[in-house]
Amino acid sequence: MNPIIDLIAVSIERTGERVVRHVDLTVIEGSWFGLIGANGSGKTSLLRALAGRLPFASGSCRIDGVEMIADRPARATHFGFSPPADTLPDALRGREVLELVGGDIETIWPRLGPLRGALGLDALLDRWIGDCSAGMRQRITIALAFAQGHARVILDEPFNWLDPVAAFDLRQALRAMVDNGLTLMTALHDLGTLAVACDAGIMLAGGNVAMELDSRLLETAAQDPQAFERQTIDRLRAASVP
Amino acid sequence: MAGEGAGPAARLFRYDRRIAANSARATFSGWHDRLIAATMLLFALAAARSWLLDRAWPITALTAFAGSVVIGSTAGRLIAVRLAFHAFDGPLAADALRPVLRRRYLIAWCAIGLTLLAILTVIARPSLLIASLPGYLIGAFVGHVTGKFSIAGFGTGKAGFGRMLRSWIQRPGAGIVAAVILLLSLAFTAQYLRGDALVVVAGIETALSGLALTIVDDSSVRFQTIAGQGPWRIIGRQARGAMLFVGIAAPVCALVFGPALAAVVAATSIATLLLMAMRTLAYRIHGKGFADFIVSILTGLLILTAFSMPIVLPFVGIAILWQLQRRSAARTWLLA
Arithmetic mean of pLDDT, B303-313 = 80
Among B280, B308, B312, B311, smallest CA distance to B295 is for B280
**Statement: residue B78 has pLDDT above 50:** yes
Q: What is the mean pLDDT of chain B?
A: 83
CATH classification at residue A16: 3.40.50.300
CB B214 within 8 A of CB B273: yes
Coil, strand or helix: which one is B3? coil
Q: Which residues, at least 6 apart from B12, have a Cβ–Cβ distance to it below 8 Å? A: B86, B92, B95, B96, B101, B105
Q: What is the interface pTM, i.e. ipTM, of the complex?
A: 0.92
d(CA A230, CA A228): 5
pLDDT in tens, B244-289: 999 999 999 999 888 889 999 999 999 999 999 999 998 888 877 7
- Tell whether B103 lies on the interface with A, counting CB pairs under 8 A: no
The distance of Cα B176 from the centroid of its chain, to the nearest Å, equals 25
Per residue in B93-150, pLDDT tens? 999 999 999 999 999 999 999 999 999 999 989 999 999 999 999 999 988 887 766 6
Chain B CB contacts of A72 below 8 Å: 97
**Does residue B237 sit in the same domain as residue B298?**
yes
Whether A83 sits inside 8 A of B85 (CB atoms) is: no
- Which residues of chain B make contact with A48, given a CB cutoff of 8 A? 88, 155
Which of the four pLDDT bands, split at 50, 70 and 90, describes residue B4?
very low
Do B108 and B203 share a domain, yes or no?
no
Query: pLDDT at position B2, please?
Result: 43
Q: Is residue A192 part of a domain?
A: yes
Looking at residue B133, its pLDDT comes to 94
CB proximity under 8 Å: A 85-114 to B: 86-87, 89-92, 96-97, 100-103, 107-108, 111
> Does any CB of chain A come closer than 8 Å to the CB of residue B92?
yes
Beta carbons of B94 and A97 less than 8 Å apart = no
Smallest CA-to-CA distance from B245 within B216, B276, B207, B278 is with B207
Q: What is the mean pLDDT of residues B40-48?
A: 80
Strand order in the sheet with A200-205: A80-81, A152-156, A183-187, A32-37, A200-205, A208-213
pLDDT in tens, B191-230: 877 777 888 888 888 988 888 888 888 888 887 887 777 8
Is residue B331 very low, low, confident or very high in pLDDT (cuts 50, 70, 90)?
A: low
Residues of B in Cβ contact (< 8 Å) with A133? 335-336
pLDDT band at B27 (very low <50, low <70, confident <90, very high): confident
Mean pLDDT across B226-239: 83
Chain B residues with CB under 8 Å of A52 CB are: 93-94, 97
Shared domain for B148 and B174, answered yes or no, is no
Cα–Cα distance, A52 to A63 (Å, whole number): 12
Q: CA A226 to CA A220: how far, in whole Å?
A: 11
Domain count, chain A: 1
For residue B335, the model assigns a pLDDT of 44
Q: A179 pLDDT exceeds 60?
A: yes
Among A76, A90, A75, which residue's Cα sits nearest to residue B288? A90
Test A97 with B91 for CB contact under 8 angstroms: yes
Residues of B whose CB is below 8 A from A154: none
From B126, B154, B182, the end of a domain falls on: B154
Least confident residue range of B27-41, B59-73, B135-149: B27-41
Whether the per-residue pLDDT at A51 is higher than 60: the answer is yes
pLDDT at B73: 87
Residues B64 and B210 both lie in one domain: no
Q: Is the pLDDT of residue B3 over 80?
A: no
- Structural domain total, chain B: 2
B257/B230 same-domain check: yes
Of the residues B136, B154, B172, the one at which a domain ends: B154
Query: CB neighbours (10 Å) of residue B97?
Result: 22
Other Cβ atoms closer than 10 A to B187:
11
Mean pLDDT of A75-97: 94
B150/B172 same-domain check = no
Best probe of the B interface among A19, A45, A90, A132, by most B CBs < 10 A, is A90
Q: Are A151 and A182 in contact (CB under 8 A)?
A: yes
A15-19, A94-98, A138-142, B173-177: the lowest-pLDDT one? A15-19
Q: Do B1 and A77 touch (CB under 8 A)?
A: yes
Does B90 share its domain with B179?
A: no
| Residues A95, A140: Cα–Cα separation, whole Å | 9
Say if A136 falls within a structural domain. no
What's the confidence (pLDDT) of residue B246? 92
- Is B219 in CB contact (< 8 Å) with chain A? no
Question: CB distance from B9 to chain A under 8 Å?
Answer: no
Q: Which residue has the higher pLDDT, A158 or B230?
A: A158
Average pLDDT over residues A108-116: 97
Q: Where are the alpha helices (DSSP H) in chain A?
A: 43-50, 72-78, 94-102, 105-112, 115-118, 134-147, 164-179, 191-197, 215-223, 225-240
User: Are B189 and B149 contained in the same domain?
Assistant: no
Amino acid B1: pLDDT = 47
Percent of residues, chain B, with pLDDT higher than 70: 90
Nearest to B89 among A76, A84, A111 (CB): A84
Residue A84 at interface with chain B, using a CB cutoff of 8 Å: yes
Question: Does residue B238 register a pLDDT over 90?
Answer: no
Cβ atoms of A212 and A189 within 8 Å: the answer is no
For residue A57, give its domain range. 1-79+182-242
Same domain, B329 and B210: yes
Alpha helices in chain B (DSSP H): 8-27, 31-53, 57-89, 93-96, 99-124, 129-150, 160-169, 172-189, 195-213, 218-226, 231-238, 240-256, 259-285, 288-308, 313-329
Domain assignment present for residue A91? The answer is no
pLDDT surpassing 60 at residue A219: yes
- Of B125, B154, B183, the one marking the end of a domain is B154
Subunit contact B97:A130, Cβ cutoff 8 A = no
At B160, is the pLDDT very low, low, confident or very high (cuts 50, 70, 90)? Answer: low
Contact B91 A133 (CB under 8 A): no
Distance, CA of B246 to CA of B129 (rounded, Å): 41
Q: Is B18 within 8 Å of A150 when comparing Cβ atoms?
A: no
User: Strands A183-187, A152-156: parallel, antiparallel or unpaired by DSSP?
Assistant: parallel
Structure-model confidence comparison of residues A216 and A113, the more confident one: A113
Q: Which of A28-37, A116-125, B5-14 is the least confident region?
A: B5-14
> In the beta sheet, which residues pair with residue A201?
A34, A213
Q: How many CB atoms lie within 10 A of CB B120?
A: 17
pLDDT at B336 (0 to 100): 36
Examine the domain organization and report whether B137 and B185 are in the same domain.
Answer: no
Highest mean pLDDT among A80-94, A104-118, B145-159, B313-327: A104-118
3-state secondary structure of B142: helix
Note down the domain range covering B45.
1-154
Same domain as B138, residue B185: no
Mean pLDDT of A53-82: 95
Query: Looking at residue A93, what DSSP letter applies?
Result: B
By the 10 Å C-beta count (0-12 exposed, 13-18 middle, 19+ buried), A238 is classed as exposed
Cα separation, A36 vs A39, whole angstroms? 9
Q: B154 pLDDT band (50/70/90 cuts)? A: low
Question: Which is higher by pLDDT, A112 or A237?
Answer: A112
State which amino acid sits at residue B89: D
pLDDT band at A95 (very low <50, low <70, confident <90, very high): very high
Does any domain span residue A209? yes
Strands A17-28 and A32-37: unpaired
